[in-house]
Amino acid sequence: MPLSTSSSNRRLPDRPWGRIWLLTAVIIFSVLGTLECIWRVRGYSANLRDDRGLWALARRKIKADDPHQVVFIGDSRIQNGINLNAFHESFSGPKPIQLAMVNWAAAPVLRHLAEDKSFKGIVISSVSRWDLRGMPEKWEMAEEYIRYYETITPADIINQHILMFFQQLFVSISPTLSPGQIFPSLLKHKWPDKSHVILYRDRSRLVDYSKFVHLETRRKRFEKRGVTGGDFIGITRADRDRSLDEIQRAIARIQARGGNVVFVRLPTSGVVREWAKEKFREFYWDSWRNRTSAITIHFEDHPSLSNFECPDYVHLSHKDTVRFSKALALIVIEKLKDDSERNK
């Protein structure tokens, strides 16, 4: 007669496990459904996340060896300000690709496209102090996105499409309703701020500043910075010149393959526009225009681009993006034609 029983011979007690799992699932989905209803009733909506996966999908859509392929790069001003469909209506070729990144530099993406021998299209870039080597922290996220694209796997692509499906379906996983957003707001006895941004699968953005609760705060911040003139603090003329020379080398590589690069200074308003006239134009824009082989377009030099008011001083209103995009497309067409005739 055995003195003990091995634990490996023990059996789990009989339970109605099927019903237990079913009940657990019902409870979970009931909680999620209740939260979903609460958010929707309160006026929140589902939205995509503008992450490296979505950027990589957009990058993969660039048509190789196509001289008519337009790619937008830069910061939030060109991502918010360009309506891809409106631009496409006025510009022949495949639909433009949006590779701009909110709050990050364009120069790493330009260099990345220059290194891609199959890219022979047209790069349209906004200009920013962030492209100067004196601000390396603004390059980090752009470089991370590029590395992710270069190492993306088929499984990553499938996973991204699944994520996008759920992001567009459920409000509860909206970027504005992350735990980091919800809990601080609830501790202050207020609901989280509703998003004033709609992000589409092509990475274009519709930004409604009438719904932006921090608009006045942002305007005051720009007013303060306009007084201090802090944009180029710490960036020397030597830093600027080295950065512009590096950018020019990338431009030359694209042009050598028959491609084109266009730099655009998008509209600004109020104190930012006044500061830009005094500081930005002399320190950056005029120096850059005089030393680059790229096409340059400054909104103040074109009547069709200069009569826009930016709600927060730096970004176009969503009501103006269609008109601005069509006007810009016509100017780009004219500039490319003039450039082609000069190079004959």
Q: Which amino acid is at 263?
A: F
Task: Give the pLDDT confidence score for residue 146 in this predicted structure.
Answer: 97
Task: Give the pLDDT confidence score for residue 14 in this predicted structure.
Answer: 67
What does the pLDDT average to over 108-129?
A: 95
Q: What percent of the chain has pLDDT over 90?
A: 54
DSSP state of 98: E
Contact 125, 78 (CB under 8 A): yes
| Distance set, CA 126 to CA 78, 171, 195, 339 (Å) | 6, 32, 24, 19
What does the pLDDT average to over 274-279?
A: 81
Tokens representing 29 are 């989905």
- Indicate the pTM of the whole model: 0.86
Q: What percent of the chain has pLDDT over 70?
A: 90
d(CA 44, CA 198): 12
DSSP for 264-308 reads EE----HHHHHHIIIIIIIIIIHHHHHH-SSEEEEGGG-HHHHS-
Confidence of residue 30 (pLDDT cuts 50, 70, 90): confident
- Scored b (16 or more CB within 10 A) or e, 188-206 reads eeeebebbbbebeebbbbe
d(CA 203, CA 58): 7
Task: Give the pLDDT confidence score for residue 11 in this predicted structure.
Answer: 61
pLDDT tens digit string along 49-79?
Answer: 999 999 999 999 999 999 999 999 999 999 9
Average pLDDT score, the chain: 87
Task: Give the pLDDT confidence score for residue 1 in this predicted structure.
Answer: 47
Contact 313, 219 (CB under 8 A): yes
Quick one: CA torsion of 303, 305, 311, 317, rounded to 10 degrees? 130
What does the pLDDT average to over 140-147?
A: 94
Q: What share of the chain is helix, strand, coil (3-state, %, to 5)?
A: 60, 10, 35
Query: Does position 258 have pLDDT exceeding 50, yes or no?
Result: yes
pLDDT tens digit string along 282-324?
Answer: 888 888 888 899 999 999 999 999 999 999 999 999 999 999 9
Confidence of residue 134 (pLDDT cuts 50, 70, 90): low
Task: Give the pLDDT confidence score for residue 239 in this predicted structure.
Answer: 83
Task: Give the pLDDT confidence score for residue 75 in this predicted structure.
Answer: 93
Helical residues (DSSP H) of 170-214, grouped into ranges: 179-187
Map out the domains of the chain with their CATH numbers: 52-342 (3.40.50)
